[in-house]
Structure 1
Amino acid sequence: MFPPGTGPSPRPAEGHERRVRSFVPRRSRVTEAQRDALLRLWPRHGIEIDGRTPLSPDGLFPALPAGAPVVLEIGFGMGEATAEMAAADPETGVLAADVHTPGQGHLLRLMEQRGLKNLRVANGDAVTLLRDMLPERSLAGVRVFFPDPWPKKRHHKRRIIQPEFVELCASRMAPGAVLHCATDWEPYAEHMLEVLTAGPSFENTALGGGFAARPDFRPLTRFERQGLAKGHRVRDLLFRRLP
């Protein structure tokens, strides 16, 4: 789709590793505006998740002071909420990972339009990014908003929020960092709450346990609006990394 080195790989999920994945790359049409943004901006602001290149959070955001907090967002859709949150908190670096090429192009456009210096776009598997490329205790937070619920029982193993993934996140998060999940699929929300509550590395920030109210800093996402229009109930979960 793009000349080598000028855009994201069209096959980010492929590789030698065999395991159940929580995502399927979508081959949606890329608009001319998105393609233009990818061609111009990906070489400077894009990151290929190759599982081999160590990333330094300080090195990702040279415009920010050394030691500035960095948050990983996994699955950003078309990126509107991601850009809004980055603009509202310019002192925090946002590393946004997804495999959806149109969304990557759209987010890069938003980044340019808003003059954001605290945002990088990563292409590929977030598990590989966490496990093989980010150092321990380097993240100030992890966001997983409206991941695929994989509603059929035979597909539940594909859900990203599983005990092993939660502990992988914990290993890359600093003490006090927050793992923030949101979903509009009630059975998945219950699954998330069960997994996060049972995990030894986190504590629930919601008073009395259970689900949290949507914090003001999380904008309504496109997927959330779609879910609300269908009568779905949106659940937020905010769990703090223990020392």
Structure 2
Amino acid sequence: MARIRVRQHVNPLSNKYQQSISIPDWSQIYSNLSLPFHLDLGCARGRFLLQMAQKNPHRNYLGIEIREALVIEANEIKDEYNLTNLYYLYGNINHFLSELLASLPINSLQLVTIQFPDPWFKKKHQKRRVVQPEIVEIIGQFLNKKGQIFLQSDIEEVAQEMCEHFLENPQFKPLKSDIWLTENPLEVMTEREIATLNKGEKVYRTILTLNN
């Protein structure tokens, strides 16, 4: 399938992305709702989750993306693979995350990944970054007590800020005393991670858990 062309960045604060969304009936999408969920925020074209869902049929995968054309394409591809443990949802996560997580089975959220989010370098634009204190608080409310948060970026400032937002919330702590990981613990890398490493550039990664 040929790639569709979409804007690389969209402003999540624009009026277009302020509307609420309709939460699907998950029993009509996933074949087994008793499986743990992996939520990927900002899943882009969804290729990372596509591979993960094929490798791990014992887990449900849900990707959220603000660019609707990418979500439509990703769902078409997952349907071609007949995957019943994967779905992509369109919308601005800053406006419906609590409603979304409340709709999932209780204690099913096991892993949240936020990988290479838009950096929004200009100071006046940094409020557009996906990881904000409100998002952190909501994730902490719904994450399984043994769940994990995996963060990574090729921009050190962005990675540090994401990590700081989580650690400023008393619900979270680093998985290890050495916060930054030298290797990716997941079995699949995103396209952005592969491209970054191929250029010889560094990726900043960390895993956080609940402070039970």
What is the TM-score with the length of structure 1 in the denominator? 0.70
Q: Is the 8 A contact 1:80 1:110 kept in 2?
A: no
Partner of 2:134: 164
Partner of 1:79: 46
Q: Is the 8 A contact 2:30 2:86 kept in 1?
A: no
Partner of 2:98: 131
Q: Is the 8 A contact 1:51 1:133 kept in 2?
A: no
Question: C-alpha displacement at 1:146, in angstroms?
Answer: 0.9
Unpaired segments of 5 or more residues in structure 2?
A: 1-9
* Aligned counterpart in structure 2 of residue 107 of structure 1, from 74, 79, 96: 74
* Aligned counterpart in structure 1 of residue 31 of structure 2, from 47, 63, 66: 63
Partner of 1:141: 111
Partner of 1:122: 89
Match of 1:134, SS state, is helix
Note the alpha carbon deviations across 1:193-234, whole angstroms, 9 max, x for none: 22222221112113x232123334242222223433555311
Q: Is the 8 A contact 2:21 2:91 kept in 1?
A: no
Unpaired segments of 5 or more residues in structure 1?
A: 1-12, 14-19, 26-48
Q: Is the 8 A contact 1:99 1:123 kept in 2?
A: yes
Greater shift, 71-80 or 129-138, is seen at 129-138
Give identity over the alignment, percent: 23
1:69–1:113 Cα change, 3 Å = same
Partner of 2:7: none
1:52–1:222 Cα change, 3 Å = closer
Q: How does 1:1-243 map to 2 (within 5 A)?
A: 21=12, 50-51=20-21, 53=23, 59=27, 61-64=29-32, 66-135=33-102, 137-206=107-176, 208-243=177-212
Q: Is the 8 A contact 1:181 1:238 kept in 2?
A: yes
Tell me which structure has the larger Cα radius of gyration: 1
Q: Is the 8 A contact 2:107 2:144 kept in 1?
A: yes
Aligned partners of 1:176 and 1:203: how far apart in 2? Answer: 12
Match of 2:180, SS state, is coil
Query: Cα RMSD (Å) of the superposition?
Result: 2.9
1:101–1:56 Cα change, 3 Å = closer
Aligned partners of 1:170 and 1:56: how far apart in 2? Answer: 24
1:52–1:84 Cα change, 3 Å = closer
1:133–1:205 Cα change, 3 Å = same
Aligned partners of 1:116 and 1:193: how far apart in 2? Answer: 32
Residues paired across the two proteins, number: 199
Note the alpha carbon deviations across 1:56-82, whole angstroms, 9 max, x for none: 76x365411x42111211111111111
1:77–1:174 Cα change, 3 Å = same
Aligned partners of 1:204 and 1:224: how far apart in 2? Answer: 22
Aligned partners of 1:146 and 1:218: how far apart in 2? Answer: 17
Question: C-alpha displacement at 1:179, in angstroms?
Answer: 1.2
Match of 1:63, SS state, is coil
What is the TM-score with the length of structure 2 in the denominator? 0.79
Match of 1:233, SS state, is coil
